[in-house]
Structure 1
Amino acid sequence: MIVRALNGVERIGNYLPHPFWLFVILAGVVVVLSSVLNAMGVGAEHPAPEEGEDSWVGVESLLTAEGLQVMVTGAVDNFVNFPPLGLIITVMLGVAVAEGSGLISATIRVAVSRVSKRWLTFTVALAGVTGSVASDAIYIILIPLAAAAFKAVGRSAVLGAIVAFGSASAGYNASLVITASDPLFAGISTSAAQLIDEDYVVSPIANYFFAAASAVVLAAVVTLVTELLLVKVTAKMRSEEDKEGGAATAVLRAGRSEETQGAGTEGASAAIEDNEDLLSYTKEEVRALWKTGLSLVIFLGVFFAALFIPGSPFDGGGAGALESPLVTDVAVPISLAFLVIGLTYGISVGSIKRAQDVPMVMARSLKELTGVIVIFFAAAQFIAYFNWTNMGTVLAINGAETLERWDLPPFVLFGSVVLLVALFNFFITSGSAQYTLMAPVLVPMLMLIGVNPEVTQMLFRMGDSPTNIITPMSPYFALVLGYLQRYYPRAGVGTMISLTLPLALTMLVTWFLFFMVWYAFGLPLGPGVPIR
Structure 2
Amino acid sequence: MTLSLPDQKESYEVEKKSVVSKILDGVEQAGNKLPHPFMLFVYLSVGIILLSFVVSLFDVTVVHPGTKEEVAIKSLLSGEGLTYILTSMLTNFTEFKPLGLVLGMMLGIGLAQKVGLIQTFMKKTIINAPPRFVTYAVIFTGVLGNLASDAAFIIVPPIAAMVFLTLGRHPIAGLAAGFAGVGAGFTANIIIAGTDALLSGISTEVTKNISDDLVVTPVDNWYFMSFSVIMLMVVGAWVTEKIVEPKLGKYEGEVTKELEKVTKVESKALRNAGIAGGIFLAILALGIFLPGAPLSNEDGGLIPSPFLDGIVPIILFLFITVSVAYGVTVGKIKGTSDVPRFMGESMKDMSAFIVLIFAAAQFIAYFNWSNIGVWIAVSGAEFLQNINMTGLPVIVGFIFLTAILNLFIFSGSAQWALMAPVFIPMFALLDFNPAFVQLAYRIADSSTNIITPLNPYVPMVLAFMKEYDKKAGFGTLFSVMLPYTVVFLIIWTAIFIVWTLLGLPIGPGIHMKL
Residues of 1 paired with 2:310 and 2:36: CA distance? 32
The superposition leaves residues 253-279 of structure 1 with CA deviations (integer Å, 9 ceiling, x where unpaired) of: xxxxxxxxxxxxxxxxxxxxxxx632x
Judge which range, 75-84 or 152-161, deviates more.
152-161
Task: Work out which of the residue numbers 5, 9, 12 in structure 1 matches 2:30.
Answer: 12
Post-superposition shift, 1:318?
5.2
Q: Which residue of 2 aligns with 1:258?
A: none
Residues of 1 paired with 2:274 and 2:505: CA distance? 28
Q: Which residue of 2 aligns with 1:248?
A: none
- Which amino acid is 2:38 matched to? F
Task: Work out which of the residue numbers 373, 387, 393 in structure 1 matches 2:368.
Answer: 387
Does residue 193 of the first structure (1) align with residue 210 of the second (2)? no
Residues of 2 paired with 1:150 and 1:341: CA distance? 30
8 A contact 2:384–2:390 mirrored in 1: no
Post-superposition shift, 1:307?
2.6
TM-score normalized by the length of structure 2: 0.93
Residues of 2 paired with 1:338 and 1:86: CA distance? 17
Q: Which residue of 2 aligns with 1:268?
A: none
Post-superposition shift, 1:224?
0.7
Post-superposition shift, 1:28?
0.3
Q: Secondary structure at the match of 1:527?
A: coil
Residues of 2 paired with 1:342 and 1:436: CA distance? 32
Q: Which residue of 2 aligns with 1:269?
A: none
Task: Work out which of the residue numbers 373, 376, 384 in structure 2 matches 1:403.
Answer: 384
Residues of 1 paired with 2:108 and 2:349: CA distance? 14
Q: Which residue of 1 aligns with 2:323?
A: 342
Post-superposition shift, 1:523?
0.9
Post-superposition shift, 1:439?
0.3
- Which amino acid is 2:259 matched to? D
8 A contact 2:390–2:430 mirrored in 1: no
Post-superposition shift, 1:176?
1.9
Post-superposition shift, 1:204?
0.5
Q: Secondary structure at the match of 1:451?
A: coil
Q: Secondary structure at the match of 1:155?
A: coil
Q: Which residue of 2 aligns with 1:253?
A: none
Q: Which residue of 1 aligns with 2:48?
A: 30
Task: Work out which of the residue numbers 80, 86, 89 in structure 2 matches 1:72.
Answer: 86
Task: Work out which of the residue numbers 148, 158, 161 in structure 1 matches 2:162.
Answer: 148
Residues of 2 paired with 1:281 and 1:186: CA distance? 36
Q: Which residue of 1 aligns with 2:12?
A: none
Residues of 1 paired with 2:270 and 2:234: CA distance? 26
Q: Which residue of 1 aligns with 2:281?
A: 300
The sequence identity of aligned pairs, in percent, is 39
Task: Work out which of the residue numbers 44, 68, 72 in structure 1 matches 2:62.
Answer: 44
> What is the 5 A alignment of 1:514-525?
514-525=495-506
- Which amino acid is 1:40 matched to? F
Residues of 1 paired with 2:345 and 2:293: CA distance? 36
409 and 400 in structure 1: CA distance in 2 versus 1, 3 angstrom threshold = closer
Post-superposition shift, 1:47?
4.1
> What is the 5 A alignment of 1:142-221?
142-221=156-235
Task: Work out which of the residue numbers 339, 357, 370 in structure 2 matches 1:358.
Answer: 339
- Which amino acid is 1:430 matched to? S
Residues of 1 paired with 2:161 and 2:436: CA distance? 36
Deviation beyond 4 Å, 4+ runs, structure 1: none
Residues of 1 paired with 2:112 and 2:303: CA distance? 27
Does residue 91 of the first structure (1) align with residue 105 of the second (2)? yes
Q: Secondary structure at the match of 1:44?
A: strand
| CA RMSD of superposed structures (Å) | 1.5
Q: Which residue of 2 aligns with 1:277?
A: 259
Residues of 2 paired with 1:297 and 1:396: CA distance? 47
Q: Which residue of 1 aligns with 2:290?
A: 309
Residues of 1 paired with 2:204 and 2:310: CA distance? 13
Task: Work out which of the residue numbers 142, 145, 154 in structure 2 matches 1:128.
Answer: 142
Task: Work out which of the residue numbers 469, 478, 498 in structure 2 matches 1:488.
Answer: 469
8 A contact 1:322–1:328 mirrored in 2: no
Judge which range, 328-337 or 182-191, deviates more.
328-337
Does residue 110 of the first structure (1) align with residue 124 of the second (2)? yes
Q: Which residue of 1 aligns with 2:39?
A: 21
Q: Which residue of 2 aligns with 1:461?
A: 442
Q: Which residue of 2 aligns with 1:414?
A: 395
Post-superposition shift, 1:531?
3.4
Post-superposition shift, 1:525?
0.8
Post-superposition shift, 1:213?
0.3
409 and 225 in structure 1: CA distance in 2 versus 1, 3 angstrom threshold = farther
> What is the 5 A alignment of 1:401-480?
401-408=382-389, 410-480=391-461
- Which amino acid is 1:211 matched to? M
Q: Secondary structure at the match of 1:396?
A: helix
The superposition leaves residues 346-387 of structure 1 with CA deviations (integer Å, 9 ceiling, x where unpaired) of: 112222121111111111111111001101101111111101
8 A contact 1:158–1:484 mirrored in 2: yes
Post-superposition shift, 1:48?
4.5
- Which amino acid is 2:157 matched to? I
Q: Which residue of 1 aligns with 2:8?
A: none
- Which amino acid is 2:243 matched to? L
Post-superposition shift, 1:290?
2.3
* Count of aligned residue pairs for this structure pair: 495
391 and 377 in structure 1: CA distance in 2 versus 1, 3 angstrom threshold = same
Residues of 2 paired with 1:320 and 1:164: CA distance? 39
Does residue 509 of the first structure (1) align with residue 483 of the second (2)? no
139 and 242 in structure 1: CA distance in 2 versus 1, 3 angstrom threshold = farther
192 and 97 in structure 1: CA distance in 2 versus 1, 3 angstrom threshold = same
- Which amino acid is 1:291 matched to? N
Q: Secondary structure at the match of 2:449?
A: helix
- Which amino acid is 1:83 matched to? K
The superposition leaves residues 131-164 of structure 1 with CA deviations (integer Å, 9 ceiling, x where unpaired) of: 1111000011111111111111111111111110
Residues of 2 paired with 1:500 and 1:171: CA distance? 13
8 A contact 2:163–2:259 mirrored in 1: no
